[in-house]
Amino acid sequence: MNTSTDDMIEVPLYRAAHGRTGDKGDRSNISVIAWHADLYPLLAEQLTPERVSMQFRHRTPARVQRFLLPRLHAMNFVLDAVLDGGVNDALNLDAHGKALSFLLLDMPIRVPRALAPMLAGP
Amino acid sequence: MNANAPPPLLIGCAAGFSGDRTDAAGPVVDTLIARLASGPAGQRAFLIFETLAERTLALAQLRRRDNPEAGYEPLLDAMLRPVLARCLAHGIRIVSNFGAANPRAAARHIARMARELGADAPRIAVVEGDDLSGPAHRALLHEALGAQMEGLRIVSANAYIGAEPIAAALDAGAQIVVCGRVADPSLAVGPAMSHFGWRADDWHRLGRATMAGHLLECGAQVCGGYFADPGYKDVPGLDAVGFPIAEIDAEGHCSIGKADGTGGLVSEATVKEQLLYEVHDPSAYLTPDVVADIAEAEVKPLPGAPDRVALSGVRGHARPSHYKVNVCHEGGWLAEGEISYAGPRAEARARLAAEVLRKRLEGLALRVDLIGALSILGDDAGRMLADTPDTGLRDVRLRVAATHAERAQAERLAREVMALYTCGPAGGGGVRTALTPRLNTLSCLLPREAVPVRFELLGAEALA
């Protein structure tokens, strides 16, 4: 994308998408679902497995996979070994890692100013 | 579609886990009764309850050890009693995994309940074969798990079995089917297979019904439960959130709605979140019935029908050759301790207390949380907490946790947190400690042939 910074705004991901975390064993999956079809391409461009891995660096994921679902305007991230053992082994108060979608949804993303009306919330 | 195909099947869900709300079934059953009354001839309705999670079965096995008549869903009576007579009177059949570790005892309880309610004795089937915790299965598990099995004290071992025995029980006339560990979506696939007469290798239809079951299996989650985020995802009437009802047609396509007169909402957004919940590769959602594929799935609201959303584009592929098996075993002890600090420099005092504990509890891998500062998103190793500067919070609760195979070692943590009262930083108070036995889980795969499944219609003598 070759847009000047003036035309782009930086917002937290939750304004462009919503999602939910699920867990199985020591593996977490986090869905990211665009609020609007027009926002989906920029999510696919910016939410790379590398960036997501960086957002979870303290949990040292063994692997981050991304699955794209263009018809749902959504993607699914699968993070291996991020739950400190999983629901039965973890010492975390949130042993399922249910709150992890909100760690992802807090990531900054850049959105063309023209698409600002598609964003959710203030 | 074939004009002679039976009308769509209605499946309502009234529980998404053990411990879910017990007043969920009433409005679902009322809605099913109303829709049967106004729907096409030959329409049928089912009610399902999904009450098992990864370690629910281990807890149920422990209860059964203490009492041979226990080990099924503890809330079974509270969940089912309010609707059982109405379901039987209106031909709404019930399928559930609330049998947990003791489906036969659950069936006997339901029979007693029906008698107490003055209903005719229902035909109840139990589905068995999932429970692999007995000595006869030890060698089989050992083959699959190998060295991991050494020294394990197994509490439960269950295969995730599928829809076929449920469908067979329904074909045989069961009004209520009580299962243990069947895969969650199979609770909906079984009724659809039986009702439409699908074959066990009708992959596309089974894949579609599986995803309908997947949308239903978490109860309120597809109806705005677990969704609300004020200002971003507003949900009306969350205090009385409704439970879902799926309408599945002869091709397996479905729409999702919710019980009449309830709160919550069914929207594209709630359905998409639930569709992807606990899914890994969307083109290969593995169940014992089918490999469901939602890579090309679409979710669209039904025009003119509020709170009704259609799912289409689901495919299916041949089912896996193996069952997934979860083995729960005793996992030592979890020790937790908490203490609060408030006022000026509270966070610094809490951090100092954590430092004291780390030094005193050498040999225990200690997890540290600062409730009020960082207590959820952090990691066991404390990397995120170390990267998070002291921001001078004035109301902080320190929480530490550790696990150990030996009870005495785990108990050291509780004593050291208690000692902070007089040996720790200034002003600490409100110590709480807890010691809990742990259950850990291993998973493996077993060939289907090694896990024979069956159903049995209970006769009057078994219920006496």
Mean residue pLDDT across chain A: 94
In the prediction, which pLDDT does B67 show? 97
- Name the least confident of A82-96, B123-137, B153-167, B256-270: A82-96
Residue pair B54/B19 in contact (Cβ under 8 Å)? The answer is no
Is the pLDDT at A121 greater than 50, yes or no? Answer: yes
Tell me which of B296, B333, B377, B383 to substitute to probe the interface with A (most A C-beta atoms closer than 10 Å).
B377
Is the pLDDT at B352 greater than 80, yes or no? Answer: yes
From the CA of B209, how many Å to the nearest CA of chain A?
19
Q: What is the DSSP letter of B8?
A: P
In the prediction, which pLDDT does B3 show? 64
- Name the least confident of A118-122, B147-151, B160-164, B413-417: B147-151
Average pLDDT over residues B174-193: 98
Q: Amino acid identity, residue A27?
A: R
Position B461 confidence tier, pLDDT thresholds 50, 70, 90:
low
Residue pair B1/B33 in contact (Cβ under 8 Å)? The answer is no
List CB contacts of B38: < 8 A, sequence separation 6 or more: none
Residue pair B58/B439 in contact (Cβ under 8 Å)? The answer is yes
In the prediction, which pLDDT does B459 show? 79
From the CA of B73, how many Å to the nearest CA of chain A?
20
Longest Cα–Cα distance of chain A, Å, equals 49
In the prediction, which pLDDT does B2 show? 59
Position A1 confidence tier, pLDDT thresholds 50, 70, 90:
very low
CATH T-level fold of B327-443: Alpha-Beta Plaits (3.30.70)
Average pLDDT over residues B312-321: 98
Average pLDDT over residues B235-245: 98
Nearest one of B205, B237, B247 to B13, comparing CA atoms: B247
- A1 lies in a domain? no
- A51 lies in a domain? yes
Backbone angles phi, psi at A37, to 5 degrees: -55, -35
| C-alpha separations of A91 from A97, B384, B403, B437 in Å | 11, 15, 8, 13
Is the pLDDT at A3 greater than 80, yes or no? Answer: no
Tell me which of A91, A100, A103 to substitute to probe the interface with B (most B C-beta atoms closer than 10 Å).
A91
Average pLDDT over residues B347-365: 97
In the prediction, which pLDDT does B118 show? 97
Whole-angstrom distance, CA of residue B169 vs CA of residue B175: 9
In the prediction, which pLDDT does A87 show? 83
Q: Amino acid identity, residue B382?
A: G
- Residues 34-73, chain B: which have Cβ within 8 Å of A? 54-55
From the CA of B4, how many Å to the nearest CA of chain A?
32
| C-alpha separations of B347 from B123, B341, B426 in Å | 62, 7, 12
| Encoded tokens for B259 | 């019980």
B399 vs A: CB within 8 A? yes
Average pLDDT over residues B319-337: 97
* pLDDT tens for each residue of B116-147: 999 999 999 999 999 999 999 999 999 999 98
B378 vs A: CB within 8 A? yes
Whole-angstrom distance, CA of residue B42 vs CA of residue A32: 41
Backbone angles phi, psi at B76, to 5 degrees: -50, -50
What is the residue range of A44's domain? 8-118
* ipTM exceeds 0.90: yes
Q: What percent of chain B is modeled with pLDDT above 90?
A: 96
| Encoded tokens for B401 | 């946790």
Is the pLDDT at B463 greater than 70, yes or no? Answer: no
Residues of chain A with C-beta less than 8 angstroms from the C-beta of B280: 24, 27, 29, 65, 76, 78
- Please give the angle made by the CA atoms of A20, B72 and B69, to the nearest 5 degrees: 165
Average pLDDT over residues B217-242: 98
Average pLDDT over residues B389-396: 96
Q: What are the residue ranges of CATH 3.30.70.1710 in chain B? A: 327-443
Question: Does the reported pTM lie above 0.90?
Answer: yes
- A41 lies in a domain? yes
* pLDDT tens for each residue of B357-378: 999 999 999 999 999 999 999 9
In the prediction, which pLDDT does A2 show? 43
Is the pLDDT at B259 greater than 60, yes or no? Answer: yes
- Residues 410-439, chain B: which have Cβ within 8 Å of A? 438-439
- A35 lies in a domain? yes
- Domains in chain A: how many in total? 1
